[in-house]
Amino acid sequence: MSIASLLSHHGVDIPRYVTVDGQIVFSGVSITSAGAAVHETFGPVTPVATHTFHGGEDRPEAAANDLWWDDPAELGRHLDAVHRAFPGFIYTEAASGFGPRWTGKINTGRGTFTLEVELRADRSLPMLRVIGPKLGAFSSGRWVRSEHLYDSGNLCVADVDEWHPDEHDAATAIAWGAHWLAAYTEWRMSRRWPADGTHAHAS
């Protein structure tokens, strides 16, 4: 259990922030008069919105007649947020059954991962996946799949009810992905998931 999780169990909420390159920080952050969060060493950081990890089956996407991303203002909100918080992420337009998506590197301080975030037509919790190696570790000579994955292999960064499409944006999802990856790197070493979440194991 991390210090932040321990304090959380005692009713003390420790804010988490993610740096531009994906590291999670807990301290050394001040808020400017304009309301921006800045870390004393890493510069601008993004607050990590409250969320819990879990796993299981992917929730099917609801049918959507209109593609919300055809509205330039709505798509622009996501583009601006990612550009501000994670300028190294590359945007790919929606096409051929895929929603708008961003791909970039997350450096947890203990490993670098390529993360892809894809928005959904029904505006529900985005799909997050790591491009590259399978997520898990060998333990006692056998492969152990990481906790908090959907059956598809997508990251389960939050409960679907924690995603609020009018409040959250693609940068929120990237921050949640960075938090997930920081917890994952700890899990690979200890086999204990260090962050809050439900522990439904994906099959």
In a domain, 185, yes or no: yes
- Positions in the chain short of pLDDT 70: 1-13, 52-65, 195-203
Predicted structure pTM score:
0.78
In a domain, 18, yes or no: yes
In a domain, 203, yes or no: no
Work out how many domains the chain is built from and give that number.
1
pLDDT digits (tens, 9 = 90+) for 16-68: 777 777 777 778 888 888 887 888 888 888 777 777 666 666 666 666 667 99
User: What is the dihedral angle through the alpha carbons of 163, 62, 100, 155, rounded to the nearest 10 degrees?
Assistant: 50
Domain that holds residue 120: 3-198
Contact 45, 53 (CB under 8 A): no
Cβ burial, residue 9 (10 Å; 0-12/13-18/19+): exposed
CA 185, CA 193: separation in Å to the nearest integer? 9
